[in-house]
A = this chain, B = another copy of it.
């Protein structure tokens, strides 16, 4: 019987120790329905928060495409496990249906002291500083004074060709270990704040084929896409997210940096991976 109890306690402790409950710790804020999109996929819905701050033109085009019904019925046609799920390709459409303009690159911003940058790690491996800007994981380069959204899991970017200004409709969601080498090379314009479990259900393509799914019938489809503000208030997912500007959030970050739980036998290095800090939203009770 002692063994049974031990096993149960072990199971509980390992995770209590390793996942501080950010949901209880951090103050929440509602999301802006005018800059949030719900995608209904085959296996559930996901909510994406857009960043008009970092990517005004891309956000505007994505919203217009959503409102035009452009994405309704399109599939995630290229999905590489551990990397990205890519969808929104209109190349099967007629020229008229797919005559979408390309968007100017929005890879980074000039630093402004007005930006509510909450520092997480300085220096980080990939940048001189990482942190959060209004909930979005971000990084900045102190020398050049640039700031940008980082490719953490759940980041939503606009695919492009070799030219900087060639993104148009194709977007991707990061589904694996953060490919930070893409930072500042492609426009990141949003992040999944609800439904990453649904994102992880998206059907993968074969690695040998670079994730291309040859049989579209097997792929995961976007059934519909809506801007939250276009839905009746009672049909909007009532998602709230951690307020990364709150004192609670800063405190949670510091507690993760300096872990004091009894479970830790060796104190971890006092460093943080900005992409490993939970910042998913939750449904309001």
Write out the residue numbers on chain B whose beta carbons fall within 8 Å of the beta carbon of A177: 152-153, 177-178, 273, 275-276
Closest B residue, CB atoms, query A80: B19
Q: Does A282 sit within 8 A of B, measured CB to CB?
A: yes
Report the stretch among A52-60, A109-117, A161-169 that lies at the interface: A161-169
Complex Cα gap A80–B10 (Å): 17
Q: Does A269 sit within 8 A of B, measured CB to CB?
A: yes
Given contacts A126-B271, A170-B10, A181-B268, is CB(A100)–CB(B263) below 8 Å?
Answer: no
Taking the nearest CB of chain B, how far is it from the CB of A154, in angstroms? Answer: 8
| Residue of B107, B153, B201 touching A266 (CB-CB under 8 A) | B107
Given contacts A3-B99, A185-B264, is CB(A168)–CB(B10) below 8 Å?
Answer: yes
Q: Would you call A178 and B276 a contact (CB within 8 A)?
A: yes
Q: Does A235 sit within 8 A of B, measured CB to CB?
A: no
Q: Would you call B14 and A81 a contact (CB within 8 A)?
A: no
Per-position binary interface string of chain A over residues 1-17, scored 1 when its CB falls under 8 Å from any chain B CB and 0 otherwise: 10111111111011111
Per-position binary interface string of chain A over residues 164-190, scored 1 when its CB falls under 8 Å from any chain B CB and 0 otherwise: 101111101001111111111110000
A residues contacting B by CB (< 8 A) are: 1, 3-11, 13-19, 21, 23, 77-78, 80-84, 86, 89-91, 93, 95, 98-100, 102, 105, 107, 121, 124-127, 152-153, 159-162, 164, 166-170, 172, 175-186, 196-197, 200-201, 204, 207-208, 210-211, 256, 259, 262-266, 268-269, 271, 273, 275-276, 278, 280, 282
Complex Cα gap A18–B164 (Å): 15
Can you give 26 contacting A-B residue pairs, CB < 8 Å? A6-B102, A6-B161, A10-B159, A15-B84, A15-B86, A15-B159, A15-B210, A16-B210, A18-B83, A18-B182, A19-B83, A19-B211, A81-B200, A81-B280, A82-B153, A177-B177, A177-B273, A179-B276, A180-B276, A181-B256, A181-B268, A181-B269, A185-B264, A200-B200, A207-B282, A208-B282
